[in-house]
Structure 1
Amino acid sequence: MKLLLIDGHSIANRAFYGVPDLTNSQGEHTGAIFGFLNMMLKFIDDEKPDNFAVAFDVSAPTFRHKMYDAYKGTRKPMLPELKEQIPRIQEMLKAMGVPVITLEGWEADDILGTLSRIGEEKGFDVTIVSGDRDLLQLATDKVKISIPKTKKGGTEIEQYYAADVKETYGVTPKQFIDVKALQGDASDNIPGVEGVGPKTAEKWIAQYGSIEECHAHVDEMKKGKVLDNFIAQWDIAVLSKELATINVHAPIELEEGSTKLENLFTEEAYLLCKRYELKKLLPRFENTDTSKVQDTTSETFKHISDLSDVENFFAGLSNSGKDFIGASIMAGADKSIKGVALSVGDETVYVDCAGFITPDYLGHKLVEISKAGVKLCFWDLKNAMHIIYQLFSSEEKAQVDANGGKAEIFPTACDVAVAAYLLNPTKNAYTADDVASEMLGVIIPAVADLFGKKKLEVALEDDSELEHITTYACYNAYVAYASYEKVISEIKDQGMLHIYEDIELPLVYTLFDMEIAGIAMDAEALSAYGSKLAVRITELEKSIYEQAGEEFNINSPKQLGVILFEKLGIQGGKKTKTGYSTAADILEELAPANPIINDILEYRQLAKLKSTYADGLANCLDSDGRIRSTFMQTVTATGRISSTEPNLQNIPVRMELGREIRKVFYPKDGCVFIDADYSQIELRVLAHMSGDDNLIGAFKAGQDIHRSTASLVFNTPFDEVTDIQRRSAKAVNFGIVYGISAFGLAKDIGVGRKEAQEYIDNYFLAYPKMHTFLEGLKAEGNEKGYVTTMYGRRRPIPELKSSNFMTRQFGERVAMNSPIQGTAADIIKIAMVNVHDRLLKEKLKSKLLLQVHDELLIETFKDEQAQVEKLVAEEMEHAASLAVDLEIDMKTGMNWAEAH
């Protein structure tokens, strides 16, 4: 029989510092909960105990607390982020059926010591898990102490029976108490004797057996300051021994069966895992019947497949008088429709494709509903439009091309995920089960709950999964319906309804049309570009090998570190647990004085260009010779759009070979590219939001803003500003937007930190209202927990409440830059929607193809060029009304590089 005991506070503390500071969608800290459960389950898997319990300290001061407080003030308080998680850990343990043992006036150590003694007496093999080495005094031949320890970025477990303590420390477990009494332990508030270290303490106790025997033999001991301290601080040594001694006779019993380890993965524990969003733990509940903790709405779901029933159902929807309907399309990996679920709350139906009920039939039924004026609520409206578009005939696709997806597919629709994103833009995903938990207060099954490890696309091909598919599809439709009004109401309460209705929802349609359009790419030119990169990469490899004096794996950080910092002896390397760091920022600092590092940095850039773009883009080319990126609007916390598969927003443009990749993208016959890029939009937004007269004045005067800043910062006449001063001022201008520190600025422009701080101080003297504005943003973030853009878009900043200084500093930078970046993102979105809609409204054939940060790319028919240039300039320059004009740089070209 085996008994496993865990020191609750000790392992929670270790989990807190060993796991990133996770928070759920409610802003609750969950990192310690997740880390604790992970460690606990690992020990259970390894030890395979029959009995299990966790001991915690209580909040009231114990006997030993009071003794220490009488000697030396109070113990260091627990960080609030950890403190709030202790009750949640205990709640989770109780839900798992784990005995959580506390005892008023007694510490967890005493509980563990008592339980281990009783367990051993009852014939158990006992394992105690704790990070506290005081517990080594409890080790016996039957009681093992397991101490988790971080080593090389991972966790190692030190295990001690009585013989192991003797071998490691030269003393018995009982004598280990006396060692602690002499050397003390700051982490456990044991003062010890000043000047006595571990070696001296172990030597004295090994020789004399106890502190009392040491004190009795002081005349025989080696004279010196340490011995003098021992004699003078004898009372402290006695106190330390009492503090270090664990009481193994606490008033607690180990009743038969009270600690028996049963099934941990209960329905209640599953519910809490969902509640705290511990998604990585959910697979552990694979064999748990979670149906009892699910929402009972599923009892109203039904599946229909008879054509007449389906016709009656759709007719009923048309006559229901409902303003909106929850909708969910089940589609395979190839975007072919497998079924559709629709919900009006008290009725939710899944219709699958079978017989006369074809994908084409279902898809067109959805289009009919939307065109009849009933709002369809989807989780991913853009994806739903792609699914419908794919089954359209060539004539219908031509209509979409001419009039846009909004007019031809779903003119009346909403995207619940985009709306949920507005309420909390810092989450990773916006799924039906997340929103159901947050907005409806119910738990619904996710994909893993219904299908286990099977992917949804695979399950859709399996007839035996029809019941689960019906449940999943109906829940998606039901939650979209049930949460829509609540989500919209909360958005309205937070002052963001106009952002959803006028920016984000119209943007869904704009992005859909952009994705349908795609951009033409010359495969042969791409291949030639890849070959050009390969030649240069080979040249760099040869140069690096020659300078190194040998061949090695340039892509191996470990081998590279050895070559640079050991063999070549380059100074300035930073050693980590796994070897020398070869991170880009470290190498960039060393590059000016070391040609080999310059070559390595260029090699890395070109290797990435080749693998990501020269090779990667070839795999993305569609049969019509165009590439179609997927634009994401629920990824970034600031509101910026991102793109993926492929990411065309992240093409390196600082190096010539990086810019050349744009040459492979070209307009179709009869067209040119128009590229319009906002000029210094974030600085213009900053001027407007801060109201700084000097910055506004510089923009209104049409001055070179960086030269103007340099003139003010360096107290130099405008016409006498040097190029170096202008470059430094430019770095400050853009750095301020991102909350740059003196350290960061010094690194960017190659000056000392003190000089960089002077630049920043002078900058704020030159633009005094800006400093007040930025400080005000930090204060607003601290007070409200969020900051807002000019349009009212919120950015939550839980980091400002962190007890960690570095995390708080990050939060302050976010507070300063999010309103500026977010406002710029809002403006470019407004411009995109307006340009897109004007092109359709004026019946132009030209198409908006790409958005890359502050830049729009339009494929323009030559006979429409003048009209499109005028249209783009009007919409971009008037997308927002600021204290300074919005200006754009517009160019044309026969490829993207020429136009940029």
Structure 2
Amino acid sequence: MDKLILIDGNNIIYRAFFAMPPLTNTAGQQTNAVYGFTTMLLRLIEEHKPSHLIVAFDAGKITFRHEGYEDYKGGRQKTPPELSEQFPLLKDLLRDLGVPQYEIAGYEADDIIGSISRQADEAGREVMIVSGDKDMLQLASDHTTIALVRKGVTEVELYGPQQIREKYDLTPEQIIDLKGLMGDASDNIPGVPGVGEKTALKLLQQFGSVEGVLAGTGELKGKMKEKLEEHADSAVMSKKLATIYREVPLEHAWEDMLFSGINKDTAGPALAKLEFKSLLERLSLSAYTPAASGDAGEAAEGVPEAALDIVICETDGDLPAVIAALPEIAALHLETSGENPHRSEVIGLGLSAAQQHYYIPFALLKSPAATPLLDWLGDPLAPKSGYDLHRADLALHWQGIAFAGAANDVQLAAYLLDPTEANQNLNDLAAKYGQPRLAPDEEVLGKGAKYKLPDLRTLGSHVARKSAAVLGIVRRQEEALRDTGMAGLFHDLEMPLSRILADMEKQGIAVNKEDLKELGKEFEAQIAALVAEIYETCGTEFNLNSPKQLGEILFDKLGLPVVKKTKTGYSTDAEVLEKLAPYHNVVRLILQYRTIAKLQSTYVEGLLKEVSGETGKVHTFYRQTIAATGRLSSQYPNLQNIPIRLEEGRKIRKVFVPSEPGWSILAADYSQIELRVLAHISDDERLKEAFVNDMDIHTKTAMDVFGVSAEQVDSNMRRSAKAVNFGIVYGISDYGLSQNLNITRKEAAQFIDQYFEVFQGVRRYMDEIVQEARKQGYVTTLLERRRYLPEINAKNFNLRSFAERTAMNTPIQGTAADIIKLAMVQMDKALYERKLRSRMLLQVHDELVFEVPEEEMDLMKKLLPEVMEGALKLSVPLKAEVSYGSNWYEAK
């Protein structure tokens, strides 16, 4: 069946420009937007295989819309010259790739797209429109899908009429009415002042259209009625401006949009000229030079299957060849099923040398003939590269197979090279680093209920291709890690930490199930008592977990002030209830009920499900490739989010106990590590003085900001100082601080100004790091961990402000994360060198938890803080506070 992809050229290149880090070729040309656009284009071609394709561009700045409204798009700032100069580069490249493009004077790209899609729709052809502009949703139909581009140009959300109904409760046609009412600042479409998306949706759900709203103002009251009547003409004009014109006189015939694949004869030289080496390799054109004879060379879609020499092992008799090749094997891929690596099924193993690739089914790994292979897997002196080796280590462990020698984890390296793209899969990495295309797992294995292993040869080829891809990716990543200065961070910190985390996860932490059940009974009794008291206070019974019924009780029956509304009625979220708490005692009871109910469901019932029947422990799984700051995250179960501000939450920690009699739990926690890092990075004398003299930093801040002595600092002053201290670390705004302290934004802004007036080194650091980020497109931690900030120069205020706050806090948070990781690596080494039996069990943000035998306790109480405080030398001392007890609760 015909499939047409229509790409909004101006929109996508603009998004790519601000999404990609700066990129310049040796000729001095900016090429980041062209590279980002082309990467997305190739992914679309690979995934959707269009029969027809066209990229539409705006032709000039003046369109027919300006005839009726001179200020159309008048608020837009001038296109940056670094972007303007890339338009001709992109158009030339599209021509050489063999991708049709189209522009018509007086019309915008979306009008061209709207007109082409209308004709294709009427002919019953399948259409996909690719753009980052939500206006395109008005074009959705049974045959036309809108692919809204998100996260720069790395992800798309697909919308048909059903998805638009689910998200907005509107038809595609009503998207125009939505824009007519709320306007669009980016296009200088005025709409109705004071009407945002929420209000516009409510009006459209009531009246159906802009015309219906204006005809029905008699049913409205107050300011809304006045606004609509006063700005009726603006609403009608705005709707007209927002309407995509679908009657553009088209010169292109359907055949002109035919796409027969990338033109190999001209694509290679064009990509080489722009120095897009990874894209050349991705299309297998890295060594291609067009011959005079017109030889087409290899297929642009990727290396054909015959190019890989794959051996599928079926019996014990096939294993000797694999074993003989082990000295040459450099990469592996362990295929597993299931998300939780502690409960995964191992399917098989792919192994790759430079020219030969192997697949061994799991059943053969268990054969006595495979013993030399298992010895190699467990040999720490046999270096191995792979994808998510941490997960592979755990999956093999629970099958009784040891794993060691992890040298390069391409998932972990990819995360370091771009931490904003969390948890990238191997298919993405293969495409990103110019390797032959890998078939998606869904194609080979199915997904969810349709998951099914194919025949041995199909499965073996698929898995062996994954290990082969790893080989090529490693080579490219090593070069990138060296170029970015992160090779040391990868090999000396992240890779050793991966093995340490796996060891901790295999060990697990023991849980006293009986105590956990008793705690559950205690929570159930509290819940029952709270429910009874709430019903008695309200004078009726209702479903406490129903926002609708709760809203009716609070706002209709009890008459509490309405704070916020949703599409379906009153909002009763936590933020609303916190604001209502002073008005009625029942709100406090409901908040308490929610807290205890969550503890019961998430941490009592949830933990009971996760306790292993074999070990009596919970075995969490730490993820290194999720948080952009470098922090670890935990799942199956998540042991980092146990709420400890409330006593009921802290009680959960009582059930975590040592796994051996006579042992204790020992915990050490960094004291205010992020503020200490801030003092070092900012070189602020006042901050450094506080930590060097071991003063309470919040009291010191209050003294300096309020100009009082330590004795004059009251609890409110210290609380305010604490809020602003941690707010500075997390890039808090005056609004955020006002909410935290329940003061006005003006007061919060004054307090922040006072803080910066006193701590001028911090202010200087904040200003300089933002300027540095604007210049180079990223910021780094003290250990050179990078975080790219593509929106740092965005015209959109919200995007730019978020990027600026991220620039300020990433070096602080990221360095703090690096420090505790360093401490873990150094502590692991210390335990090994001293031959201690003490075991590292958990990392919870700034805290490390161990189980320790009695005879080692005195040594560990001294050794642990020494290692933690010496992990990284700063201009202020690091401080780790140690405690211990018979369970985790007592150790805190």
Whether TM exceeds 0.5 here: the answer is yes
Matches within 5 A, 1:493-642: 493-622=483-612, 623-642=614-633
**Distance in 2 between the 1:568 and 1:242 partners?**
46
**Aligned pairs (5 A) from 1:192-591:** 252=250, 258=255, 293-296=301-304, 299-300=307-308, 301-318=310-327, 320=328, 325-331=330-336, 333=338, 335=344, 337-353=346-362, 358=366, 362=370, 365-368=373-376, 371=379, 373-392=381-400, 409-411=403-405, 413-453=407-447, 458-459=451-452, 462=453, 464-591=454-581
Identity percentage of aligned residues: 35
8 Å CA contact retained: 2:631, 2:817: yes
Q: Which residue of 2 aligns with 1:822?
A: 814
The counterpart of 1:874, out of the listed 866, 870, 886, is 866
* Rounded Cα–Cα distance in structure 2 between residues aligned with 1:4 and 1:436: 26
Q: How many equivalent pairs are there? A: 769
Question: What aligned pairs does 1:852-867 form with structure 2 within 5 A after superposition?
Answer: 852-867=844-859
Alpha-carbon deviations, 1:731-758, whole Å to 9, x = none?
1111111111111112112222222222
**CA deviation after TM superposition for structure 1 residue 593, in Å:** 3.1
**Distance verdict in 2 for CA 1:117–1:650, change over 3 Å:** closer
Shift of residue 431 of structure 1?
2.3
Match of 1:58 in 2: 58
Q: How many angstroms apart in 1 are the aligned matches of 2:838 and 2:804?
A: 43
Q: Which amino acid aligns with 1:633?
A: Q
Change (3 A) 1:93 1:661: farther
Distance 2:75 2:421 in 1: 33
The one-letter code of the counterpart of 2:633 is: S
Q: What corresponds to 2:642 in structure 1?
A: 651
**Conserved in 2, the CA contact under 8 Å of 1:878 and 1:886?**
yes
Residues 187, 792 of structure 1: CA spacing in aligned structure 2 closer, same or farther, 3 A cutoff?
closer
Deviation (angstroms), 1:858: 0.8
Q: CA deviation at 1:653?
A: 0.4
- On the 8 A contact 1:673/1:893 being kept in 2, the answer is yes
TM-score normalised according to structure 1 size: 0.74
Provide the C-alpha distance between the structure 2 equivalents of 1:687 and 1:532, rounded to a whole number of angstroms.
44
**Does the 8 Å CA contact 1:377/1:484 hold for their aligned counterparts?**
yes
Report deviation, 1:325: 0.3
Mark the structure with the bigger radius of gyration: 1
* CA distance in 2: counterparts of 1:609 and 1:722, whole angstroms: 34
Matches within 5 A, 1:774-813: 774-813=766-805
C-alpha spacing 1:551/1:5, structure 2 compared with 1 (3 Å)? farther
Q: Does the 8 A contact of 2:313 with 2:358 survive in 1?
A: yes
Structure 2 CA distance for partners of 1:517 and 1:360, relative to 1, 3 Å: farther
Q: How far has the Cα of 1:495 moved from its partner?
A: 1.0
**Residues 361 and 429 of structure 1, relative CA distance in 2, 3 Å threshold:** farther
Amino acid at match of 1:414: N
Residue identity matched to 1:481? L
Rounded Cα–Cα distance in structure 1 between residues aligned with 2:117 and 2:503: 68
Q: Distance in 1 between matches of 2:633 and 2:777?
A: 25
Partner of 1:103: 104
Are the counterparts in 2 of residues 102 and 108 from structure 1 also a CA contact under 8 Å?
Answer: yes
Contact conserved, 1:6 with 1:54, CA < 8 A, in 2? yes
Paired with 2:377 and 2:687, the residues of 1 have a C-alpha distance of 52
SS at match of 1:761: helix
Q: 1:361 to 1:23 in 2, by over 3 A?
A: farther
Q: 1:157 aligns with which of 171, 181, 187?
A: 171
Could you report, residue by residue, the CA deviation over 1:440-468 in whole angstroms, capped at 9, with x for unpaired residues? 25422221232343689x54xx4x42222
Residues of 2 paired with 1:561 and 1:542: CA distance? 18
Equivalent residue, structure 1, for 2:840: 848
Query: CA RMSD for the aligned pairs?
Result: 5.2
Q: 2:665 is paired with a residue of what secondary structure?
A: strand
Match of 2:202 in 1: none
Among 656, 659, 670, the alignment partner of 2:662 is: 670
Shift in alpha-carbon separation, 1:573–1:336, aligned structure 2, 3 A: closer
Listed one character per residue, the Cα deviations across residues 463-512 of structure 1 (whole Å, up to 9, x for unaligned) are x4222211221122112222213212211211111111221111112111
Counterpart Cα distance in 1 of 2:701 and 2:772: 27
Distance across 2 between alignment mates of 1:597 and 1:522: 34
Could you tell me which amino acid in structure 2 is paired with residue 480 of structure 1? V
User: Which digits, 9 at most, give the CA deviation of each residue in 1:97-128, with x for residues without a partner?
Assistant: 999764344567987999899999x9999999
Distance 1:413 1:128 in 2: 43
Partner residue of 1:142?
none
Q: Helix, strand or coil for the counterpart of 2:398?
A: helix
Distance change (3 Å), C-alpha of 1:743 and 1:477? same
Counterpart CA distance in 1 for 2:770 and 2:416 is 21
Aligned counterparts of 1:674 and 1:185: Cα–Cα separation in 2:
57
Check conservation: 2:312, 2:461, Cα contact below 8 A: no
Preserved CA contact (<8 Å) 1:700 1:884: yes
- The amino acid of 1:154's aligned partner reads Y
The CA deviation at 1:592 is 2.8
Q: Cα 1:126–1:303, aligned 2, differ >3 Å: closer, same or farther?
A: closer
> Structure 2 CA distance, aligned partners of 1:191 and 1:713?
44
Structure 2 residue identity aligned to 1:384: A
Instruction: Classify 1:593/1:86 alpha carbon distance in 2 versus 1 (closer, same or farther; 3 Å).
Output: farther
Alpha carbons 1:298, 1:471 under 8 Å: kept: no
